[in-house]
Amino acid sequence: MAIRITALVALALTSSAVASVHAEDFKASCAALAQGFSGSGRIVAAEFVAAGGVQLAPPAPAGVTGPAPDHCLIRGRINERTGIDGKPYAIGYELRLPATWNGKFFFQGGGGVDGVLRPALGLVTGVTPPNGLSNGYAVASTDSGHLEEPGALGPYLFGLDPQARRDKGYSSIPPVAAAAKAATEKLYGNAPRRSYFVGCSNGGRQAMAVTQRFPELFDGVIAGAPAYRVPLAGIDVIAQEQALLAIAPPGADGKADVGSALTDDDLKTVADAVITACDAADGAKDGMVQDVMACRFDPAVLACKDGQTSQCLPDAKLKAVRLMFDGSRNSMGQLIYARWPYDPGLAAPGWRAWKLGTPKSSPPNARNLTLIPGGVAYDFMSPPEKPDDLVAWVRNFDLNRDPPKVMKGAGGFDAGMEYEAATSTDLDAFKAKGGKMLLYHGAADPIFSALDTIDYVDQLKTKYGADTDGFARLFLVPGMNHCGGGPATDQFDLLSALDTWVEGTGSAPESIRATARRAPDVPWPGRTRDICAFPKVLAYKGTGSLEDAASFECR
């Protein structure tokens, strides 16, 4: 029995008996979805889940949960097949359909190289709970067409199958979206009135990809720290790791201890110098650099003078830092990817985790020495390379010889920049249907440069002129690391802003209110700020508390 939950929302339940009847109907209708629905593929599970906490996917530790209301949980597998590598593949998906539905659909983007079916809770980085599901959205997630295999190289082996590459890049999204919308229609009696795609990192790239490849699917998207040129970003951070390997001291095993290439004191020295050079430009000395575009920091000021051993950087470290922010270049001087903004968030644990990892870790655990090289070699290169030792492979990477391998397909494999990148500025169809896009990026992101996202928005403005602000807005978050973390006001609600904009009940957002979380790497927990729509930046009004957003304005 299908239930029109939208009617239930309008109906005030005046007795527990009425609520109980509807609850039993919902449970029965949920169980009936096990028989399938349009585009469902093979249903693996269809069950009612009572309100409570849902365990989050790794890397979240055991016991860390996300809130969820009463809902129907569906898991299925679409397009089951055998790959050219002889392994089984399918587009796995999860749907969570709330008992009280707001009539809208939320597609939750992935992360990393996917291969994990994460709980479809409607998670939005930077958004204070409750999540999308708790706010009444029907939510979908997908593993993007493959599952991680065991072992250090297991997450990347899907790249040896050409179709798995395409599924991960873009082609898994339409069938899951279609199945999810069919499920809502069968359960509630109505298809979603609005559909949103929300993601960060790889999920942010996916959000951009759907506006370019599938503009008909979604009314609005949120693209956080978008990895829209991830094959080139990956090559750039590989060059950075080469520089860090070159200056890393030997560890107990005699191999380079990358985690100790730059110490916490080194990073604090750089961060403090950035604050000294650029913090006060907004009129307030508050430990935050609001205008990254105007920050003209030169690390040369940190060069150690004769006899100086603290609060400075020796030449080798200075050279590495300069490379990490100036961007890598080939022998002809061509920039491989982008430059990076200087921001005090570079001294935060989240920045270290990507660039350096833990000191004295053997093998090195910097994500830019594990996740990124694995993805570039197995997933983006065409044909794929299959190194057993990623650190050795990074050392031997050549900025003249190897970047072309991610640009154009060969040997039956599409290359990363063909299927993974989301660089097109042709958003005519998305714009024409009234689609809206919110992008956000941390100024201290250690894997994707905020300047690269700014460049994409600038390209949109070149194409669409003043009309760009009518469908796309970018928000830079000072101090924030990758998708969150760092000394930042990184708790904010973009979903409500997007929904209001799409529904036409409010204008395009000019600013988003944000709060600093309570964590060891935040020196001012509870601080509030407005995050301004780029290119506006926040400025101090001249009076009022530095902890209060009311003392600042976007200019």
Model confidence pLDDT, tens digit, residues 296-314: 999 999 999 998 888 999 9
Strand order in the sheet with 88-98: 42-49, 71-82, 88-98, 138-142, 104-108, 194-200, 220-224, 436-442, 472-477
pLDDT of 64 reads 81
Question: pLDDT band at 128, cuts 50/70/90?
Answer: low
Instruction: Please report, for residues 294, 370, 399, 447, 457, the alpha-carbon distance to residue 403 in angstroms, rounded to integers and kept in the order given.
Output: 31, 18, 6, 17, 24
User: pLDDT band at 532, cuts 50/70/90?
Assistant: very high
Q: What is the pLDDT of residue 505?
A: 82
Mean pLDDT for 234-245 is 98
Site of tokens 């403090």: 272
Conformation bin of residue 97: beta by default, left when phi > 0, alpha when psi is -120 to 50: beta
Is 58's pLDDT higher than 80? no
Closest CA relative to residue 447, chosen from 522, 528, 376: 376
How confident is the model at residue 6, as a pLDDT?
33
In the predicted structure, residue 540 carries a pLDDT above the cut 60: yes
Phi and psi for 53 in degrees, rounded to 5?
-90, 140
pLDDT of 410 higher than 70: yes
Of 366, 389, 419, the one marking the end of a domain is 419
- 447 in Cβ contact with 353 (< 8 Å): no
Give mean pLDDT, residues 175-191: 97
Q: In terms of domains, do 151 and 80 share one?
A: yes
Residue 351 clears pLDDT 60, i.e. is over it: yes
79 in the same domain as 12: yes
Q: Give CA 408 to chain center in angstroms.
A: 25
Per residue in 264-299, pLDDT (tens digit) is 999 999 999 999 999 999 999 999 999 999 999 999
Residue 330 has pLDDT above 50, yes or no: yes
Examine the fold and report which residue of 419, 442, 474 is the final residue of a domain before the chain moves on. 419
Q: Count the neighbouring beta carbons within 10 Å of the beta carbon of residue 299.
A: 20
- Say if residue 117 is in the same domain as residue 235: no
Q: How far apart are CA 415 and CA 406, in angstroms?
A: 5
State residue 130's pLDDT score: 74
Please indicate, yes or no, if residue 246 is contained in any of the structural domains: yes
**Tokens (6 digits) for 521:** 């790497």
Residue 5 pLDDT greater than 50, yes or no: no
For residue 40, name the pLDDT band (cuts at 50, 70, 90): very high
> What is the average per-residue pLDDT within 174-191?
97
Token pair of 482 as six digits: 């990758």
50-74 average pLDDT score? 88
Same-domain check for residues 325 and 413: yes
pLDDT interval class at 202 (50, 70, 90): very high
Residue 470's pLDDT is 95
Indicate if the pLDDT at residue 57 is higher than 90.
Answer: no
Residues 256 and 333 in one domain: yes
CA atoms within 13 A on the CB side of 15: 3
Is the model's pLDDT at 515 over the cut of 80?
Answer: yes
- My answer on whether 253 and 395 are in the same domain is yes
The tally of domains found in the chain comes to 2
Tokens standing for 232? 């080139």
Q: What is the mean pLDDT of the chain?
A: 93
Show which of 419, 444, 473 is a domain's final residue.
419
CA 489, CA 478: separation in Å to the nearest integer?
8
15-19, 462-466, 493-497, range with the lowest pLDDT: 15-19
Above 90 in pLDDT, residue 190?
yes
225, part of any domain: no
Q: Is 182 a member of any domain?
A: yes
Is the pLDDT score of 11 beyond 70?
A: no
**Would you place residue 507 in the very low, low, confident or very high pLDDT band (cuts 50, 70, 90)?**
confident
Q: Residue 338 pLDDT > 60, yes or no?
A: yes
pLDDT for position 65: 83
**pLDDT-based confidence at residue 521 (cuts at 50, 70, 90):** confident
CA distances from 355 to 58, 69, 263, 316 (A): 20, 38, 12, 17
Q: Is the pLDDT of residue 181 over 70?
A: yes
Q: In sequence order, what are the residues at sequence separation of 6 or more whose Cβ sits closer than 8 angstroms to the Cβ of residue 92? A: 75, 76, 77, 117, 142, 143, 145, 147
pLDDT average, residue stretch 412-429: 97
Q: Are residues 181 and 324 in the same domain?
A: no
Q: Looking at residue 129, what is its pLDDT? A: 65
Does residue 112 share a domain with residue 255?
Answer: no
CA 297 – CA 116 distance, rounded (Å): 40
115, 248: one domain:
no
Residue 216 lies in a domain: no
Q: Same structural domain for residues 188 and 127?
A: yes
Residue 20 has pLDDT above 70, yes or no: no
Identify the domain containing residue 150 by its residue range: 1-192
User: Within 10 Å of residue 306's Cβ, how many Cβ atoms?
Assistant: 4
Statement to judge: residues 148 and 236 lie in one domain: no
Q: Active-site residue numbers?
A: 201, 445, 482
The answer to whether residue 10 scores a pLDDT higher than 80 is no
Q: CB–CB of 118/110 below 8 Å?
A: yes
Question: Looking at the domain assignment, is residue 482 inside a domain?
Answer: no
Using a pLDDT cut of 70, give the percent of the chain over it: 95
Label residue 223 exposed, middle or buried (CB < 10 Å: 0-12, 13-18, 19+). Answer: buried
Whole-angstrom distance, CA of residue 218 vs CA of residue 222: 11
| Residue 23, pLDDT score | 79
On whether residue 130 sits in a domain, the answer given is yes
Q: Closest Cα partner for 368 from 237, 228, 203, 233?
A: 237
How far is Cα 380 from Cα 403, in angstroms, rounded to an integer? Answer: 10
What sign results for the dihedral spanned by CA atoms 545, 546, 552, 555? Answer: positive
Is 255 in the same domain as 188? no
CA distance 532 to 447: 23
Residue closest to 271 by CA, chosen among 311, 309, 307: 311
Residue 449 near residue 356, CB atoms below 8 Å: no
What is the structure's pLDDT at 24?
85
Question: What's the CA gap between 344 and 522, in Å, rounded?
Answer: 12
Taking the alpha carbons at both ends of the chain, their separation in whole angstroms is 55
Residue 478 lies in a domain: no
- In this predicted structure, the answer to whether residue 9 has a pLDDT above a threshold of 70 is no
CB atoms under 10 Å from CB of 381, counted, come to: 23
pTM given for the model: 0.94
**Average pLDDT value for residue range 164-176:** 98
User: Cα 154 to chain center, whole Å?
Assistant: 22
Task: Write down the pLDDT at residue 1.
Answer: 39
Asked if residue 80 is part of any domain, the answer here is yes
Residue 124 has a pLDDT of 78
Separation between Cα atoms, residue 289 and residue 479, nearest integer Å: 7
Share of the chain above pLDDT 90, in %: 89
- Asked if pLDDT for residue 506 goes beyond 80, the answer is no
